[in-house]
Structure 1
Amino acid sequence: MSIELDPSSQLSFRRPLTEAIKETLVIRNPTQLPIAFKVKTTAPKQYCVRPNSGRVEAGQELKVQVQMQAMKEDPPVDFKCKDKFLVQSVAITAERELLPPQDLWATIEREARDQIREKKIRCVFLPPMDHEITQIKEEEEADHHSSRLSSSAHSTHSSFNSHSTVPAPASPVQPTSNDSAPVAAQVHFATSSTGESSDVGVLKRELESAQQTIQSLQSTMDKLQREASTLRQRKPDSGSSSAPMMTAVHLRHEQEGYPITYVAGAAVVAFLVAYFLF
């Protein structure tokens, strides 16, 4: 069986600590039997507890006054109080009812120490009330500012959403990089094909011109060959004064071989054939 404490974990003493401060500790008995209690502290000279021991009937509660003595000066703001209270309790059975009150705890500690229940409460020093009020106001202002920022952000977000829902004007579909690659390849191929076709056309025209030149040269060569044959077939007369001249011309043709125009035409034909084929 155990009691209930209010506050359950700490006693708070508000600054300034240069004045005596009283706090109340409520002890409740939720059980069906009376409970005896006793309050101990780690700083007995600093605190005064009234009553420091007693009895709480079943289903009842008792208020204990805890007074902290005035200090000569306030400890630093970051000072952490290490003072504690220990509240012990034990159920009062029918046999314990017969014991004198002054002998109750001595008998229980000697015969039934394992039945004693203990609860610890620590002491805490709080800042002055005006400081806390200022801190509360600052927190409220910070919360108000945060709420205003949240509302502003929410309205901005809503405005952005309302603007973003307006349909954008239709724009022509632009080809993506993947689509433009085949198109570029096709254009390049068409350009290359066109260039090659123009080169082939130029070559064809040059070839036709060369063929015409070859035919013209061939005609000239045939004409020269016919003239040479005609000259060879003529026989010079014995009494003619032109006989030595004809003989000289005939000998000259025989010594020189092919005519110069024939050789030049053959060279031009060989050059053109080598140019177009190689």
Structure 2
Amino acid sequence: MATDHKLLHVHPPQLTFVFEPNKQSSCLLHLSNNASHHVAFKVKTTSPKKYCVRPTLGIVNPHGTCHFTVTMQAQRTAPPDFNCKDKFLLQTAVVPSGTTQDQISSHMFLKDNGSRVQETKLRVLLISPPSSPVNAHFNQMPPPLTVEKRLEAAAEDMEDEADKDNVPRCVEKVGDMNGVNDVVKLTLAKDSEGLNSRLSAVDAKLREAEETIMKLIAEKQKNTREKELLKQELEMLKKKIKMRRAQGGFPFLFVCVVSLVSMAVGYYIHP
């Protein structure tokens, strides 16, 4: 959507870093929303390993302000003539009211999805630290550009205008590692909570299984003792039966035979 009206106003319009060897340098940028709608923003850079952006994305309320800080990591040497070719891309898009920062995605900043999207390219300016009050103003001025540098800068501006509606592939590929790290940390925290809950459930089941095993062992021991008592009682009964049989006298069949013989003898003696 072509328009001269900016969704967010950036101040300052470029990133200025005081360069000192082996020292970090930070730059604070302010964003202001003068409209009556919510605007989401996302910051990208062509050198994500060299710069740290906090935060990399967010939402600015209507007529509200926001800011983000860019920190340049410590560098050993400065580029020739302090001419830094690093660039930043500020993507902005109108979002519905109630949209949260967690709901911001790369799809919101695509121009072909019908939403109102704008892109602002920010250049990086390196300055040397002021060594005295006399040359402090001079040190804060950008270094003079040679004819070759001016031609190169003009060529870069022409390339930027030609690619105004497309995000450079290198920017899309490298992205912003800080935002990825935040997402990874949040995912790891959620996974850790889920793993802890699962471990607690497994521990509870193990304790329950141990209690069940202890009960089964106690029942088995009890059954073994009862079985031994039954065997002892059975042996005692067998001994008692044998003793009774031994003390019982003549068998009943022998008594019957003797009686029959006695009756026969008496019959022959007294016909």
For the pair shown, the structure with the greater C-alpha radius of gyration is 1
TM-score calculated relative to the size of structure 1: 0.43
TM-score calculated relative to the size of structure 2: 0.44
Q: Return the structure number with greater helix share.
A: 1
